[in-house]
């Protein structure tokens, strides 16, 4: 609040209370909107815990120290199919490996694949969508028809096709999942650019001689970054699901490394005799996907001016 002195026409000074409200920071308003969204906060907390687990496991491996209760890849057939107890919280699998340690170890792989795959699809999709939307004409038609053909095939089937061509392995899974998600980002960026490229500030940038590249990446894309961030957050959950699906089919991460989908695939034959070997990896996948979806929905509301707190 700010109080100003105002002079009247007869020269007498009077005190008038003129309140000037300082505009709030947009980032602060967005954070308040996100903070008041309980579902989004829950998702953010869960993601923070998952990231912390993944980082701790990864750092401990680099330092050669074991912070998990047991070596996730050590098998002992004499202790196979031990039900959950005080010593093995999630029980042991068919090879006598500790399920709790393997579920925690699988966190780093699932998050890494999700982030890496989204990075590939995001970078390529943004560039293709920006070129198509800004250039228009034949360039737009060629790029978007290719994207439409990719979208016509279910993403998991397309990922399986790429895996069949590339082979099995973690790096191949990242490439396959990243490629199949490119059309989504390309269409989002193209649609956003079509809606803003005729604005006055874009035309002014053209008049003063800015290059097309500078106009796209300095003047247009910053105005559509909110939609990209929301889609990327939701895209991580999709990538985690696709990773689990490929692992379940035996096409993703290969043994002895722990990956939730692979754990499900190898335990499906024991659904009635040792159901816990499927339950805990399944819960890990569900919680991770749910957390990113909750955060993505919260970010969408935070970026939308109509949904922000007043």
| 28-54 burial: b if 16+ Cβ within 10 Å, else e | ebbeebbeebeebeebbebbeebeebb
What angle, 0 to 180 degrees and rounded to 10, lies between the N-to-C axes of helices 225-248 and 182-196? 170
Please check whether residue 50 lies inside any domain of the structure: yes
Please check whether residue 103 lies inside any domain of the structure: yes
Q: What is the DSSP string of 187-254?
A: HHHHHHHHHHTTSHHHHHHHHTT--HHHIIIIIIGGGTHHHHHHHHHHHHHHHHHHHHHHHHTT-SSP
Please check whether residue 17 lies inside any domain of the structure: no
Give residue 156's pLDDT: 86
Please check whether residue 248 lies inside any domain of the structure: yes
Radius of gyration of the chain (CA): 26
Please check whether residue 278 lies inside any domain of the structure: yes
Give residue 222's pLDDT: 76
Q: What is the dihedral of CA 227, 232, 235, 240, to 10 degrees?
A: -160
Contact 101, 160 (CB under 8 A): no
Please check whether residue 10 lies inside any domain of the structure: no
CATH number at residue 259: 1.10.3720.10
The closest alpha carbon to 122, from 224, 252, 44, belongs to 224
Residue 4: phi, psi to the nearest 5?
Answer: -115, 150
Please check whether residue 1 lies inside any domain of the structure: no
Give residue 271's pLDDT: 86
Token pair belonging to 291: 């957390």
The closest alpha carbon to 107, from 46, 34, 181, belongs to 46
The closest alpha carbon to 180, from 152, 160, 158, belongs to 158
Residues in the chain predicted with pLDDT less than 50, given as ranges, are: 1-23
Q: How far is CA 307 from the centre of its chain?
A: 22
Give residue 44's pLDDT: 94
Give residue 305's pLDDT: 66
Please check whether residue 19 lies inside any domain of the structure: no
Positive or negative torsion for Cα 269, 272, 274, 275:
positive
What is the tally of structural domains in the chain?
Answer: 1
Residue 70: phi, psi to the nearest 5?
Answer: -140, 160
Range of the domain at 196: 27-307
Q: How far is CA 99 from the centre of its chain?
A: 26
Q: Which residues contact 305 (CB under 8 A, 6 or more apart)?
A: none
What separation in angstroms does the CA of 102 have from each of 47, 58, 74, 199, 239?
18, 13, 10, 53, 20
Give residue 308's pLDDT: 61
Report the alpha-carbon angle 139-179-226, nearest 5: 75
């Amino acid at each position: 609040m700010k109080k100003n002195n105002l002079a009247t026409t007869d020269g007498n000074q009077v005190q008038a209370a003129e309140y000037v409200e300082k505009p709030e920071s947009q980032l602060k308003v967005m954070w308040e909107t996100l903070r008041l969204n309980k579902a989004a906060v829950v998702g953010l907390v869960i993601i923070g815990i998952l990231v912390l687990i993944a980082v701790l496991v990864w750092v401990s491996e680099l330092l050669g120290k074991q912070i998990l209760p047991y070596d996730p890849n050590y098998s002992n057939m004499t202790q196979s199919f031990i039900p959950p107890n005080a010593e093995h919280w999630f029980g042991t699998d068919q090879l006598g490996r500790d399920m709790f340690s393997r579920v925690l170890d699988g966190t780093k792989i699932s998050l890494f694949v999700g982030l890496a795959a989204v990075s590939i699809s995001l970078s390529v999709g943004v560039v293709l969508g920006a070129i198509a939307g800004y250039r228009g004409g034949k360039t737009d038609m060629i790029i978007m028809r290719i994207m439409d053909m990719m979208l016509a095939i279910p993403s998991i089937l397309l990922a399986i096709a790429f895996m069949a061509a590339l082979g099995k392995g973690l790096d191949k899974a990242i490439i396959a999942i990243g490629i199949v998600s490119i059309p989504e980002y390309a269409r989002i960026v193209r649609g956003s650019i079509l809606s803003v490229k005729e604005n006055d500030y874009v035309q002014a940038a053209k008049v003063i001689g800015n290059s097309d590249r500078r106009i796209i990446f300095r003047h247009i894309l910053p105005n559509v970054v909110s939609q990209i961030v929301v889609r990327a957050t939701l895209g991580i959950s999709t990538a985690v699901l696709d990773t689990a699906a490929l692992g379940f089919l035996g096409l993703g991460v290969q043994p002895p490394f722990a990956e939730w989908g692979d754990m499900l695939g190898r335990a499906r034959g024991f659904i009635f005799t040792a159901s816990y070997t499927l339950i805990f990896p399944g819960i890990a996948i569900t919680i991770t996907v749910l957390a990113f979806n909750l955060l993505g929905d919260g970010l969408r509301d935070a970026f939308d001016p109509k949904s922000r707190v007043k």
